[in-house]
């Protein structure tokens, strides 16, 4: 998972319903992305929907956590099997 929500998050809630994998949850202070559920929308959309709708652009990619498209596809397929 290369997506991360920065401290600039204003807790506006618009990203939560956009996540097809229910990977975004409210943390102690701001929203957080669960890396085991985030596929960057691979399998659902061409682009991460949370980043598109974020009004303050606080959902960013972090290169040190990067996953390839193939890795994200495998994670997507695994999540689909789990139901």
35 CB contacts (<8 Å, ≥6 apart)?
A: 1, 23, 65
* Model pLDDT for residues 19-48, shown as the tens digit of each residue: 999 999 999 999 999 999 999 999 999 999
Number of domains within the chain: 1
C-alpha distance from residue 55 to each of 6, 20, 40, 75 (Å): 13, 19, 18, 28
Whole-number mean pLDDT of the chain? 94
- CATH number of the domain encompassing residue 27: 3.30.70.20
* Model pLDDT for residues 66-76, shown as the tens digit of each residue: 899 999 999 99
pTM beyond cutoff 0.85: yes
DSSP state letters, 5-62:
E-TT-----SSGGG-TT--EEE-SSSEEE-TTT--TTTTT-SS-HHHHH-TT--EEE-
Instruction: State which residues form the domain around 19.
Output: 3-82
Question: What backbone torsions phi and psi does residue 4 show, to the nearest 5 degrees?
Answer: -145, 140
């Amino acid at each position: 998972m290369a997506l991360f929500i920065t401290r600039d998050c204003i807790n506006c809630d618009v990203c939560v319903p956009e996540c097809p994998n229910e990977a975004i949850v409210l943390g102690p202070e701001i929203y957080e992305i669960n890396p085991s559920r985030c596929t960057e929308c691979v399998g659902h959309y061409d682009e991460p929907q949370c980043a598109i709708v974020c009004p303050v652009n606080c959902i960013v990619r972090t290169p040190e956590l990067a996953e390839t498209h193939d890795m994200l596809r495998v994670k997507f397929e695994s999540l689909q099997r789990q139901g």
